[in-house]
A and B are shown apart, each in its own frame.
Chain A
């Protein structure tokens, strides 16, 4: 038995304001089936069905990976949560579950608020289209309506400092310029909950400072931030709550502002 509830707060405006941004997980499990070639083919499923007995028994023990194991927490408005843990400890999977991409295999997850997923900010970009087209495409991906994008277009274009390049295909951009564009669009939306994999840093020194400022105000405008990171400094700087993940479980929770990480 599992459940996922997502409520888009933006769509609820006008409902006498009792709705607050919130993430609530109860025994959240995210478990991936692992398909080897033999598992994924129809032949095996069919053979299993016909032969029964021994092979069917073997098929019963399907290989699966528990990326998040019985996680429970409640994140309320104003909280900035950092996720710590080794590679493969389930941070990104948890972020994807919060973004609503993976529905819990078991347990419950309740997400209230408009989620901005900054897991891959280049998602949806088309290198052969112009910079302006890409602002549009990326905006659509972030859930903006065409009208919203057009309203934000000049602000986004101005921030990128790309000038006339915006009329050129993105293919002609350097990777830094492409990142600027993706970053500018991704941080231009109004979100209640931000889900981020590592703090984004873009461009050269001077631009990075400007970008950092924008990202900070983007995060400040949101009610909740959940960020996966390896950096202790960032954790102290940005977060007021931290979870340490190991083998898909939360093994430790602490306040990064008071406790030393370790």
Chain B
């Protein structure tokens, strides 16, 4: 079996395992397609952790987890058909429905083509240094017996302290090796590269869906502003501008991200997958409309980020808290427990899954699991070195920040009307990631200058990508702003980030926003 065919088989195996649980949580949406293999990768990671914890072969755990999660989802669909992916929002016939669907299809295909184009670096058979030493070497350990796996993880003579890093990349490669019978570093690299672009496609599709969502909202509010009960023929069509901007920004984001993450996007490193997945989690969890589907997409991406690398783990833990806080909101705290019990419960499950591997590493006294915090008192010079080392890579923030300020001052009303979350959430997530990485460097025990020089271009991928995502986000908001028309006053908009509109669904148009959201003039804002 050649590497290309084996990679396809591996991705199909991961996708098959992840499809049902992801479809059950996210629904039948375009983003479910790239999320399915990522869901399979999460299952592989959990399987590796369970295998190390309790014994048994990784592949047995992987199949068992896939079957159990599939049965649970199907059982839920049988018992509560209203939760099935085939149940869409009210499918009212509206003018412009065809163009709305068309943009969804075109956006998905454009993102797929951009991702495929960005993978052309795979034609060069590079296997990165760390990839060969760790990420696509460790899969062999996961396929050994439980007793031998424990030895591999613990024995000090192997020197490699990074083997305690989270397992998603290696576990996915182990599944790929097992199902194809091809045990090569190259297959590991190609499998990881495809998972990278799945995460990238998911993050980019958040922009496509946000643009389509914004267009629907603007059309509906124009209807409402014109009197509410508008005859069907006179209803406003979703404007093209935000939808086209969403597709354009998504495609450009893919190309930008490929440039930022190469050569690591296609040489087996774990930095791109956690960075891109974290950006996707921010996109769905903190920037898109907040509903069950987007929160589920965010949860998958948070788990991918947190199970891929230590930096991703710290960032993912913070994202769980931020997404939970946004889901509950100030109103939720004052409301009954039903309002916040679900977000808190989901967050607790995510935290437990994320914490399982690092806790296990400490429990078995794995090599590299002990603290590496420095006893140095020269934290000031280390902090200075980190700041000076990282700042040349963060020039995108010099553009994103003023754009964000201008948008925040001038386009907040448009943003709210279009259903976008406040970008302060994204900045918080960016800051958390930066602080996590910076703190690890400042408090680490390694010599700071060589450490910075050899890693800074990889560890800053997340803040760089987040910065570019924020720019893309404002591009779509601004495109929506060019489509806003003045409407008569006499009604008040009480916008909310909690508005739920199912516009991302494949083949469905989406439900109406809550009744209290009524069209208003441009300047009305909370």
- A-B complex is real: no
Task: Give me the interface of A with B, judged by CB distance under 8 Å.
Answer: none
